[in-house]
A = this chain, B = another copy of it.
Amino acid sequence: MLSQTEENYLKALFHLTSETANKSETGTNELAATLNVKPATANDMLKKLKEKKLIHYEKYGKVSLTASGKKQAIEVVRKHRLWETFLYDKLEFSWDEVHEVAEQLEHIYSPKLIEQLEKFLGYPEFDPHGDVIPNAKGELKLQVRKTLSQVAVGKPCKLVAVKDNSASFLQYVVKVGLGLSSKIKVVSRQEFDGTMEIEVNGKRSIVSQKFAENIFVV
């Protein structure tokens, strides 16, 4: 069985090499930065994960998950998202509070627990941030979605998910009046720096390009 640390490395690799991230490989430094460890530490773990055949990796080369590594990473993601849903739906946690606790809960080992939790929650398809919850087989629907920053001026769209799950970002999102399924209209965009004006329920706000890049819409 994998240690919590190993699970965290696999999960980070999964996120860094997913469709959402638009690339299929990553490097030691990027991985280290994601996990808040030094490159030397990440390097040690890469050797270990390669040894266990969970990643493709050669010295000085790029890193990607093997089928086995991806399967295990998805299982962690599945647990994370189910727990987030539990906290949000059943325990009155807010959008920005669920992530941190789910980071701990995702490492609990008990197949029956996850099975029953999923059943108890009514086999949810999406977590509170709008992300797809992989099913028990590790399959996850590919979502067609773009970021708010890619929407044309004048176009209405709907928020389906957020990219960043940090409390600070989510609190900001709420402050602008946004939530899952919010309808957004792009009023204008600055050519210079991508800053845009948006309208949500009649309320207008100015948001940065960085902000808009972290909002997924359809």
- Residue numbers of A with Cβ under 8 A of B are 87, 90-93, 97, 100-101, 104-105, 108-110, 112-113, 116-117, 120
Q: Contacts A97-B112, A112-B97 hold; do A117 and B105 have CB atoms under 8 A apart?
A: no
Distance of A201 Cα from B122 Cα, bound (Å): 37
B90 near A120: Cβ-Cβ < 8 Å? yes
Q: Name 5 A/B residue pairs within 8 A (Cβ), A-sorted.
A: A100-B110, A101-B110, A104-B108, A104-B109, A105-B108
Q: Is the interface of A mostly helix, strand, loop or mixed?
A: helix
Distance of A117 Cα from B112 Cα, bound (Å): 19
Instruction: For the complex formed, measure the closest distance between the CB of A145 and the CB atoms of chain B, giving whole angstroms.
Output: 30
Contacts of A100 in B (CB 8 A): 110
Distance of A116 Cα from B92 Cα, bound (Å): 7
B112 near A93: Cβ-Cβ < 8 Å? yes
Instruction: For the complex formed, measure the closest distance between the CB of A5 and the CB atoms of chain B, giving whole angstroms.
Output: 14
**For the complex of A and B, 10 pairs with smallest distance between CB atoms:** A91-B116, A101-B110, A104-B108, A101-B113, A92-B116, A91-B120, A90-B120, A105-B108, A91-B117, A104-B109
A113's partner among B87, B110, B112, B120 (CB-CB below 8 A) is: B87
Contacts of A101 in B (CB 8 A): 108, 110, 112-113
Distance of A120 Cα from B120 Cα, bound (Å): 14
Q: Smallest CB-CB separation from A110: which chain B residue?
A: B101
Instruction: For the complex formed, measure the closest distance between the CB of A217 and the CB atoms of chain B, giving whole angstroms.
Output: 30
A91's partner among B92, B104, B113 (CB-CB below 8 A) is: B113
B116 near A93: Cβ-Cβ < 8 Å? yes
Contacts of A108 in B (CB 8 A): 101, 104-105, 108
Contacts of A112 in B (CB 8 A): 93, 97, 101
Contacts of A87 in B (CB 8 A): 113
